[in-house]
Chains A and B, each alone.
Chain A
Amino acid sequence: MMSVWDAVIGQPRAVEALERAVAAAHGHAASATAMTHAWLITGPPGSGRSVAAAAFAAALVCPREGCGECPACVEVRAGTHPDVELVRSTTLSHSKQLSSELVLKAADAPVLGGYRCLVLEDADRMTDAAANALLKAIEEPTATTVWILCAPSPEDLLATIRSRVRHIALRVPESRAVADVLVAEGVDRAMAEFAAQAAQGHIGRARGLATDAEVRSRRSMVLTIPSKLQTLGDCYAMAHKLKAAAEADSSQRLGEHLAHDREQTMAAFGEGAAGVSNRKVKEYAKSSLAELERVHKQQSSRSVRDELDRYFTDLLGYYRDVLALQCQAEVTLINADLRASLERHAANDPASQTMQRISALGRAREQLEANVPPALVCEALLVQLLHPSGN
């Protein structure tokens, strides 16, 4: 039998808690307290927070508790269910304006008589003003409204929000579970296992690695950096290359999105109609297209940072492997395909330097988050990777 939970990978404990809540919400569970009106789903990037949140929402509005097949489940998946509001995070921050819209929606009666679900992805991107505007609505929603917030960790939210939600923690899914999903999607076993391992449990990333040769070649480029840094000049050249790669990847991905969204919007307003000028259609779609452009612009800035963060995560994995070899730890290597280069590093440098490099990567990721210009972050990072102790 199909179920909305099929999409939630490698999270048996979280799914069990949510299923109990859904049963209670539908009025047949041992304990009515299993359900509450505000939830926070946390987990590292790629653990499937938004997927879990959407599955939970679908199960709440589905008469069969998330069968995955009925019109309600299909509509939630397509984003067209009138009672489920999915707020996707595409920009750097959630504004207070967005909060007010949500507060209004929280007072809505559900059209289909079940629950009104408000899913806020990346709730950690709320500004303080935006979070404060939500407080009252989250604390005392009407009986049929359910809030589902997603964030990397509870600490990313204001304490006042934190204290008003029930917390469900997702963990990093096991590589095996991720590989199984890829195999089910038609990827061959060896590729699926390599991708799942290299992506360190990040499902979307694993899918990209398994299915897109360009994503794989970008990873190889990034992972050769440690071997190529010999002089300060290399650091600056590489930093530049890294930033350029992030920009290229991000603008390609966003460009495809934007082109797709534009196409859809123009089609919805009647592009291609015989006997009608396209100028007319552009006029209808004007406000919609302007909104697309505006969002796209905000996305670009965030997207370059996301891309760089992905590269840094790959590098972290690399040094983690080096450290594992240096300590002779009995763990599976993330980058088993690069064993020769890992071993060379492990033999040549002391473990203390590897630790310093790992800290440098951690700092670089924080700087990205704190809006430091990407070029500076890359330069500082690569210099520290070359000279970890700062000499």
Chain B
Amino acid sequence: MKIRVEQSELSDACSWTTRTLPARPTIPVLAGVRIGAEEGGLHLATFDMETAAKVHVDAVVDEPGTVVVSGRLLADIAKALPKQPVELTLEGSRLSLRCGRSSFGLPTMPVEEYPELPAFPVEAGSLPGSEFGVAIAQVAVAASRDDTLPVLTGIRVELEGDTITMAATDRYRLAVRRLAWSPDDTSISRQVLVKGKQLADLGRTLGEGDSVSLSLGDPESGLIGFSSPDREVVTRLLHGDFPDYRRLLPKDSQTVAETDREELIESVKRVKLVAAERTTPIRLTFSDDEVLLRAGAGDDASASESLECSVSGDPIEIAFNPDYLLDGLQSIPNEKVTLAFTEPRKPAVLSDGPDYQYLLMPMRLGN
């Protein structure tokens, strides 16, 4: 193998692929990055048995070939090199890197021990990367981190015609986000369950690109692929029945309040300071033109604060886990937030329009 590549491109590619490298690989070779050189360029690939990442880099390939070398070492070297062309040559069992006056030799690992990367599924459509990234973050916040119910650690992704709906719930809250995309086949109707942590990571890295494509295999396939022009990620789906979340969304409401989102966030943060435990509720009383926030009672420290707020419908007093409330408020991008209630024992819905809903279970009101 013999290739020449620009330092900056090599460095970017390395730092992107090696982000997913496991710190404690189950088999040593998985700490490596696979470099493949073929006509027209090279690709770097990593695979941790959950997610495979592959990036294409333009390069002059004098001699094609494939090697596996320590991923973090390559990334650190590539970053530190001067901004000049880098020459990679396989010499015996070592990969030599030359750049300007610097020279490195990296031991290689047996290519045949590196597991085969899963085949990339078929492209199903695309959407703008930044919108996709934001949407994922809005939903991922509600995904469960409790290992005992694997299904709830996932994010449900529904592709119906030109709409994508994503949903996640940990039983205490539910986040649903709808967004438009451009499917290759407008009659598409597919539902998959993507691992929450993996999808959230993807949203952060692929969200930087202009356009992201989604790829799915046949219905039995256990994979979903995401790609931007030079980058490909394929990750393992979850199996299992996601709860019928649409049933949980209330059809109507008795009270609707609208207020400034930032101000409400600040108020909640202040009032929650007196909460003795993570699960100490914060009480919200909506009446006329204000909302009263209270936490703590009796002999414990207590706090209260009121905030201007437009309220229509019956007055209501309701209590929430302050962290879950904050998560919801912080997931809404607009200046204003709308809170809709039916009764104090039933879930409330935070939203800023029809595209995003954050459903939050109330806590039981004390005395």
A contact set with B: CB distance below 8 Å: 71, 75, 78-82, 100-101, 103-104, 106-113, 116, 133, 136, 142-145, 264-265, 267-276, 280-281, 284-285, 287-288, 291
Q: Do B70 and A273 touch across chains, with their CB atoms under 8 A apart?
A: yes
Closest 9 interchain pairs by CB? Answer: A109-B222, A270-B70, A274-B105, A107-B150, A270-B73, A268-B28, A142-B239, A109-B237, A100-B147
Q: A101-B147, A107-B239 are in contact. Are A273 and B106 (CB under 8 A)?
A: yes
Q: Do A108 and B239 touch across chains, with their CB atoms under 8 A apart?
A: yes
Q: Do B24 and A111 touch across chains, with their CB atoms under 8 A apart?
A: no
Residues of B within 8 A of A281 (CB): 70, 73
Q: How far is the CA of A74 from the CA of B150 in the complex (A)?
A: 30
Interface 1/0 per residue, B57-87 and A, CB below 8 Å: 0000000000001101110110000000000
Q: How far is the CA of A125 from the CA of B302 in the complex (A)?
A: 50
Chain B, residue nearest A272 (CB)? B107
Q: Do A268 and B109 touch across chains, with their CB atoms under 8 A apart?
A: yes
Q: How far is the CA of A106 from the CA of B25 in the complex (A)?
A: 20
A-B contact number at CB 8 A: 129
Residue pairs across A and B with Cβ atoms less than 8 A apart, 17 shown, are A80-B27, A80-B115, A82-B236, A108-B236, A108-B238, A111-B236, A113-B221, A136-B148, A264-B28, A268-B28, A270-B69, A270-B106, A274-B106, A275-B103, A275-B105, A280-B73, A287-B23
Residues of B within 8 A of A267 (CB): 28, 107, 109
Taking the nearest CB of chain A, how far is it from the CB of B193, in angstroms? 8
Selected from B77, B114, B150, the residue in CB contact (under 8 A) with A103 is: B150
Task: Given contacts A109-B222, A273-B105, list 9 more A-B pairs with CB under 8 A.
Answer: A80-B29, A100-B148, A109-B238, A112-B118, A136-B148, A142-B240, A268-B31, A269-B73, A274-B104
Q: How far is the CA of A101 from the CA of B26 in the complex (A)?
A: 13
Residues of A within 8 A of B23 (CB): 287-288
Selected from B109, B114, B238, the residue in CB contact (under 8 A) with A107 is: B238
Taking the nearest CB of chain B, how far is it from the CB of A237, in angstroms? 44
Chain B binding surface, main DSSP class:
mixed
Taking the nearest CB of chain B, how far is it from the CB of A298, in angstroms? 16
B367 beta carbon closer than 8 Å to chain A:
no
Chain A, residue nearest B94 (CB)? A274
Q: How far is the CA of A145 from the CA of B237 in the complex (A)?
A: 13
Q: Which of B102, B221, B240 has the most CB of A within 10 A?
A: B240
Q: Do A288 and B221 touch across chains, with their CB atoms under 8 A apart?
A: no
B49 beta carbon closer than 8 Å to chain A:
yes
Residues of A within 8 A of B32 (CB): 268
B contact set with A: CB distance below 8 Å: 23-32, 47, 49, 69-70, 72-74, 76-77, 94, 96, 102-107, 109, 113-116, 118, 147-148, 150-151, 153-154, 217, 220-223, 236-240
Residues of B within 8 A of A145 (CB): 239
Taking the nearest CB of chain A, how far is it from the CB of B159, in angstroms? 16
Q: Do B222 and A110 touch across chains, with their CB atoms under 8 A apart?
A: yes
Residues of B within 8 A of A81 (CB): 115
Q: A80-B115, A276-B77 are in contact. Are A104 and B70 (CB under 8 A)?
A: no
Selected from A75, A143, A288, the residue in CB contact (under 8 A) with B116 is: A75
Selected from A82, A110, A273, the residue in CB contact (under 8 A) with B115 is: A82
Taking the nearest CB of chain B, how far is it from the CB of A157, in angstroms? 20
Residues of A within 8 A of B47 (CB): 82
Residues of B within 8 A of A268 (CB): 25, 28-32, 70, 109
Q: Do B49 and A269 touch across chains, with their CB atoms under 8 A apart?
A: no
Residues of B within 8 A of A75 (CB): 115-116
Q: How far is the CA of A143 from the CA of B154 in the complex (A)?
A: 17
Q: Do B28 and A265 touch across chains, with their CB atoms under 8 A apart?
A: yes
Selected from B24, B27, B29, the residue in CB contact (under 8 A) with A291 is: B24
Q: Do B24 and A288 touch across chains, with their CB atoms under 8 A apart?
A: yes
Residues of B within 8 A of A110 (CB): 222
Residues of A within 8 A of B28 (CB): 264-265, 267-268, 288
